[in-house]
Amino acid sequence: MCKILIVYHSQTGHTRKMAENVARGAASIEGVTVSLKKAGDATLEDLLECDGLVIGSPEYFGYMSGMIKDFFDRTYNEAQGKKEIFKKPYVAFISAGNDGTGALNAIERICIGYQFKKVYEPVLSKGELDRETLKKCRELGKTIAAGCEAGIY
């Protein structure tokens, strides 16, 4: 079984709804299991055991949420040098009041440090969620799940 880990933080519920739609998309691929975790609950073990990683964050003050940063801070040192981390496929989604690029840039810089491999363009949602954004989230989940399950990533 291929395992997709979705790590997210949400206060208003927007990022949670996006994460749930990513999870629905990923779970629609046969042979894939999905682990949907709030950032504060996600562990190094979760990260090491997954085949693909999805990171979801609201944008606060032009940056990722503190809880997403905390997840990275808690796992980074122990993850270094582990073969399970090298080139791990990842994708991201952002719920933003502004444009989301600050949060996305910060996440992508950290992912470079982990030596993860970005495999699909992020979903950036500005303001209220709409049907099109949630559809893009499902497509994001399907894409990483299908690629990991097929061994493409």
CATH number at residue 19: 3.40.50.360
d(CA 58, CA 96): 6
Q: H or E segment at 66?
A: helix 66-79
**Residue 28: CB partners within 8 Å, gap ≥ 6?**
138, 141, 142, 145
End-to-end CA distance of the chain: 15
Domain extent for 61: 2-150
Task: Please give the tally of structural domains in the chain.
Answer: 1
| pLDDT tens profile 1-32 | 999 999 999 999 999 999 999 999 999 999 99
Write down the pTM of the prediction. Answer: 0.97
Residue 13, φ and ψ in degrees, nearest 5: 105, -15
| pLDDT tens profile 60-84 | 999 999 999 999 999 999 999 899 9
Number of alpha carbons in the 13 Å side-chain half-sphere of residue 10? 20
